[in-house]
Copies of this chain bind each other. A is one copy, B any other.
Amino acid sequence: MLTLYDFMGSGNGYKVRLLLAQLGTPYKLVERDILKGETRTPEFLAKNPNGRIPTLELEDGTHLAESDAILWYLAEGTAFAPADRLQRAQTLQWMFFEQYSHEPHIAVARFWRHFFAKLSPAQELELPARMEKGYAALGVMEKHLARHQYFVGDRYGLADVALYAYTHVAPEGNFDLDHYPHTCAWLARVAAQPGHVSIDHKN
């Protein structure tokens, strides 16, 4: 059986838990508290030298890191991964967009505001730029979703799973989604997919 090392509050981890639930794939969940440094222990670094959750342990003991690489591995050959070459590349385009232009701003602002009682002076200083770049990412999504039901090929798939994870909790980082109606409608469409589970759902 697959083993998923994860932290329940993580959107990156949630991507994997959501896809596993929708695929109906059984797995063992092993929680690691990133707030207590449980992903930086020698035991965990032996699994993932970059010290991050989610990390997936395959049946043969191989460890796979990076949420979107794990999604790709799990989805190959299923309806969640497009069969078309261009659509596969477009799926990856949105997944890399998420990790580079979305997550470092929206997820980090949400992490600071949601998990810490008080921001540090350095965080206070950085926050306005993170908010601005987070809204820029939401703007790119909104523009796309004004013309499309989903991110790739007009059907629900990996790019939606990847972008849903931190977008739906953006308000926990004080992002106001009121001016992003197409994005809000897309969030509702994703949440209505068969087998959808919430971020705090445990298998």
Interface residues of chain A, those whose CB is within 8 Å of chain B, are 49-50, 58, 62, 64-70, 72-73, 76, 85-86, 88-90, 92-93, 95-97, 99-101, 103-104, 140, 143-144
Contacts and interface: CB of A to CB of B under 8 A. Distances in A.
A49 B104 CA distance: 19
A50 B97 contact: yes
Nearest to A139: B49
Contacts of A144: 49
B97 A65 contact: yes
- Stoichiometry, as copies per complex, reads 2
Nearest to A91: B69
A89 B69 contact: yes
Main SS class of interface, A: helix
Contacts of A72: 88-89, 92
Nearest to A77: B85
A69 B49 contact: no
Nearest to A65: B93
Contacts of A86: 58, 62, 64, 73
A68 B100 CA distance: 11
Nearest to A73: B89
A18 to B, nearest CB: 18
B65 A76 contact: no
Contacts of A67: 96
